[in-house]
Every structure is written in structure tokens, then in C-alpha cells.
């Protein structure tokens, strides 16, 4: 038997009734009260009228979509707009769009030409840099992480977690970010140069598992000389789901076996860290959800 409504509760229910938000049982309860109270009936009419007024007043206040803006948005949905979209994604502000109708296409074309030129001039031999496809989940050595409690010394896992939070929230918190390219295709070369290692690093692209590269910077964590890379989720609805990747050169001091992935702190639900080795390079991946991070780790460890 439902509890009787007090006046405040009734007013909230009347509003929800007026909005068509109540379930059948609650509707019946309000109708019952309305039959006894002319005031409740008046409030339903009032609320419905108020909604129409707000709608009307605010719609009138809103200007129509400017034709230039509409054209720009429509152009984004055409296949030919991919280069423009890519150019706008990589740091350019939409404010520039107001400069002129042809500014974006011209800029996109120039960027595309420059990018192609740079790529042709600098591309590594394809056989030395493994390309990343979507990871084959059924045939990958990283099936499940192996727990290794003392893989990262002292309080460094917590410090890595805090640094990940700061940089994921605001990429400019990544000190030295200007030393590294923002292009995901070119970042392995920068990392190799910084760490002074050979050119066998895979392409550090996580787009196949839903992340885009945000930036990289030099870092003293997890120890020694390392590079910290930050990736943000492509889906904007995934708030707080960024991941951080630390890469360091290693001469054998980190006790991880190639072909396995290790969990450095499985009890820390907020910031699990996965660790693996490829040759003389060790990778540390921090984020929020181990399952998604495992997908990312598989993508960064392409199986031949």
C-alpha cells in the first residue's frame, strides 16, 4: 500500500505528472488527488503552460543557424572533408573558420601536402616498424596479466597515477611536450631518438582500440630516462578514461619476461599499471579499467 503524499511530495508528483514522467501507479495516485483537489488540477495546467512559454520565449530568442555554419557542418559529412576534419582535429581552432569560406580547405590542403612531403622524406622502412591492426584477442600472448608486486619501486605507482591524472586532465601539464611530435605516426621516431635506441618500436597508435594520441613528454618515472605518452578516448562520452604509456630503455634490470604482460598493482583499482617488455624497451601502461588497458597493451604488442 503506497504511503500517503504530503504537500511537497504532491507538488513534485504533479509536476512529473504534467510532464508525462510518472509510471502507471503514480499516475493513478496523482489522478486520485486531483479528483479531490481543484488546486492540483490547476497546477498541472499551469506547469504545462509554463513549459510552452519557456519553449516559445527561448526559441524566439535563438537566431537561426548561420548559413556559413550550416555549410561547414554539412561539408564535414562529405567524404572529401576527411582531410579538413583531420586538420581541425589536430589542434586548429574552429575560430579560424570565420576568417573565410576557403581558409579551411586551403589550410587543409597545405597541411596535407606538407604531411605527405614529411612522411615521404622521413618514413622508416616498412619492415622495421610493425604496423598495428586491431589486436587478435584470441591469439595473443597477453591473455591475462601476471601479478608482480615489486615491479615498480616504492611509491612510484602512486606517483605515476597522480601524474597520469594531471596530464589526462590537461595535456599542457605534460612538461616538455614541445620536444615531441603530436603526430601519432611520427612519435616512435621521437621516442627512439630521445631514448637512444634502435628503430624497432611499433607504431604507437591506439585508434584501433578507441584512443587518440594527445602528446608526449620526457619523464623521470617509473625510473631512469623515460617518455610519457598520453592517449584520450575517441568517444567523448567516455569521461576520465584516458591512458598513459611510459616507455623506457632497459638493459635487463626490469624483471619482466618478453611475451608476458604483468600487473604491477592489481589492488589499486583506481590506477592499475600493466608492464611488458619488447627487446630492450619496457612499456608501462596506466589507466582506469584493466580490461580496456589490456586491449591497449595487445594493440601495442603486435604479434608477428
Partner 1 sequence: METAEFHRLALAELESVHRMAFHLCRNGDEAGDLVQETFLRALKAEPRFELRERGIRPWLFKILHNIFYTKVGRDRRSPTLADDLRHESAASELDNPAPAWDLASLDWEQVDDRLKRAIDELDGRYRDVLLLWAIEGLKYREVADVLDVPLGTVMSRLYRARSILSEQLASVAAEHGIKVE
Among the listed residues 35, 76, 144, 149, the single contact to partner 1 using CB under 8 A: 76
> How many amino acids of this chain bind partner 1 (CB under 8 A)?
53
Binding string to partner 1 for residues 236 to 255, with x set by CB under 8 A, is what? xx-x----------------
Q: Are 96 and 107 in contact (CB under 8 A)?
A: yes
C-alpha cell at 11: 507538488
Residue labelled with grid coordinates 597493451: 297
C-alpha cell at 242: 584516458
Among the listed residues 66, 141, 198, 220, the single contact to partner 1 using CB under 8 A: 66
- The neighbouring-strand residues paired with 32 are none
Q: Which stretch binds partner 1 (CB under 8 A): 68-76, 156-164, 177-185, 258-266?
A: 68-76
Q: Is 88 in the site for partner 1 (CB under 8 A)?
A: yes
- Residues 67, 182: Cα–Cα separation, whole Å: 33
- Residues 182, 187: Cα–Cα separation, whole Å: 7
Among the listed residues 29, 33, 72, 164, the single contact to partner 1 using CB under 8 A: 72
Strand, helix or coil at 215?
strand
- Residues 226, 71: Cα–Cα separation, whole Å: 46
Q: Is 49 in the site for partner 1 (CB under 8 A)?
A: yes
Q: Is 62 in the site for partner 1 (CB under 8 A)?
A: yes
Q: Which value, in Å, is the radius of gyration of the alpha carbons in the chain? A: 27
Residues of the shown chain interacting with partner 1 in the complex, contacts defined by CB under 8 A: 7-8, 11-12, 15-16, 19, 21, 39, 42-43, 45-47, 49-51, 53-66, 69-70, 72-74, 76-77, 85, 88-89, 93-95, 97-98, 169, 210, 234-237, 239
Amino acid at each position: 500500500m503506497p504511503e500517503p503524499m504530503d504537500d511537497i511530495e504532491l507538488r513534485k508528483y504533479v509536476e512529473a505528472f504534467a510532464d508525462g514522467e510518472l509510471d502507471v501507479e503514480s499516475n493513478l495516485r496523482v489522478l486520485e488527488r486531483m479528483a479531490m483537489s481543484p488546486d492540483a488540477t490547476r497546477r498541472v495546467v499551469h506547469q504545462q503552460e509554463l513549459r510552452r512559454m519557456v519553449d516559445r520565449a527561448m526559441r524566439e530568442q535563438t537566431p537561426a543557424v548561420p548559413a556559413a555554419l550550416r555549410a561547414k557542418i554539412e561539408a564535414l559529412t562529405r567524404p572529401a572533408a576527411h582531410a579538413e576534419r583531420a586538420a581541425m582535429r589536430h589542434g586548429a581552432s574552429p575560430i579560424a573558420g570565420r576568417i573565410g569560406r576557403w581558409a579551411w580547405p586551403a589550410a587543409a590542403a597545405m597541411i596535407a601536402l606538407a604531411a605527405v612531403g614529411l612522411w615521404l622524406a622521413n618514413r622508416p622502412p616498412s619492415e622495421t616498424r610493425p604496423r598495428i591492426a586491431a589486436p587478435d584477442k584470441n591469439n595473443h600472448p597477453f591473455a591475462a596479466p601476471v601479478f608482480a608486486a615489486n615491479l615498480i619501486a616504492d611509491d612510484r605507482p602512486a606517483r605515476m597515477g597522480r601524474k597520469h591524472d594531471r596530464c589526462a586532465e590537461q595535456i599542457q601539464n605534460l612538461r616538455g611536450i614541445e620536444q615531441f611530435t603530436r603526430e601519432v605516426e611520427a612519435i616512435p621516431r621521437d621516442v627512439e631518438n630521445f631514448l637512444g635506441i634502435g628503430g624497432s618500436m611499433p607504431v604507437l597508435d591506439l585508434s584501433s582500440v578507441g584512443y587518440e594520441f594527445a602528446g608526449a613528454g620526457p619523464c623521470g618515472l617509473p625510473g631512469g630516462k623515460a617518455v610519457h605518452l598520453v592517449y584520450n578516448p575517441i568517444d567523448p562520452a567516455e569521461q576520465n578514461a584516458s591512458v598513459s604509456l611510459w616507455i623506457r630503455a632497459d638493459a635487463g634490470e626490469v624483471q619482466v619476461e618478453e611475451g608476458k604482460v604483468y600487473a604491477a598493482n592489481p589492488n589499486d583499482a583506481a590506477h592499475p599499471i600493466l608492464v611488458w617488455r619488447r627487446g630492450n624497451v619496457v612499456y608501462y601502461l596506466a589507466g582506469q579499467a584493466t580490461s580496456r588497458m589490456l586491449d591497449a597493451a595487445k594493440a601495442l604488442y603486435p604479434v608477428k
